[in-house]
Amino acid sequence: MIKKSFYTLLFLVFCSNFIFAQYGWTDAVVYLKNQKVLTGLAKIHMMSDGLNLKKEQLKFKADKKAKKSKYQPEEVDSIVFTIAYKERVNDTRIEKTRDETYIPIYLNNRQTKMGFAEILVYGTLKLVGRTVSVQSGGGFMPGTTGAPNMAPIYHPGYMGIHNQVMILKDGETPEIFNQVSLIKSFRKRAMEYFEDCPVLKVKIETKEFKKEDLQDIIRFYNSNCN
């Protein structure tokens, strides 16, 4: 019983830290489609992968004591979060910050539902990432799309928390491209997706580019296949 309680506590601590780090009130600049720019604190709710418990939206307030406002994805052009983190350098933990840019994207093929995703690679073809909760053991936790208790999580550099990694073409619904699929291997899916770029297709077929190189694959496409 003590062991079970310990792991339950550990799980809750992990989830609370995870949600706070990615979706809690964070320094941000919000660019609205009406040309207005908001500077203050913003956060995005974590959504469920399988259930539409609430509509995805951005919350904003000018400072900690200010009244919050809500914005739908349709109203937002982009959000730039300033994320504080610590990095170990020569046995010393150094405080640093990095910017993460989120944009609104379509979440279904009918393009009737929208949400937010972080841009991992810029260009004509973008790589974007989302973090959603999935059902596991009767509760919800950050995890993977697809079957419960599986974790095909893509780790793009320091951003290893996104469990939905997608390829995005302007005006289209993004293609979910996690490393692991229950249907086809990453190599087969990538060769089909990049059918319009023979030179890239060969590099994937010969394993010059592998699933760990998805960012480089997107950059190669943008530089050589447009």
The model's pLDDT over 129-146, given as tens digits with 9 standing for 90+, comes to 888 766 544 333 444 333
Same domain, 133 and 220: no
Residues 82-113: pLDDT tens digits? 988 788 888 888 888 889 999 999 887 777 78
The predicted pLDDT at position 87 comes to 81
Residue 76 and residue 58 in contact, taking contact as beta carbons nearer than 8 Å: yes
Same domain, 189 and 175: no
66 forms beta bridges with: none
Residue 28 and residue 40 in contact, taking contact as beta carbons nearer than 8 Å: yes
**The total number of structural domains that make up the chain:** 2
- Containing structural domain, residue 191: 183-226
Q: Does the residue 47 lie in any domain?
A: yes
The predicted pLDDT at position 151 comes to 33
Residue 13 confidence (pLDDT) above 60: no
The predicted pLDDT at position 14 comes to 36
The predicted pLDDT at position 196 comes to 92
Residue 215 confidence (pLDDT) above 70: yes
Percentage with pLDDT > 90 across the chain? 41
The predicted pLDDT at position 181 comes to 66
Q: State how far the Cα of 204 lies from the Cα of 208, in Å rounded to an integer.
A: 6
Structure tokens, 24: 């809690």
Same domain, 126 and 91: yes
Residue 218 confidence (pLDDT) above 90: yes
Q: State how far the Cα of 40 lies from the Cα of 25, in Å rounded to an integer.
A: 9
Q: Which of 184, 195, 190, 183 is nearest to 213 (CA)?
A: 190
Longest dimension (CA), the chain: 59
The predicted pLDDT at position 90 comes to 86
Q: Does the residue 217 lie in any domain?
A: yes
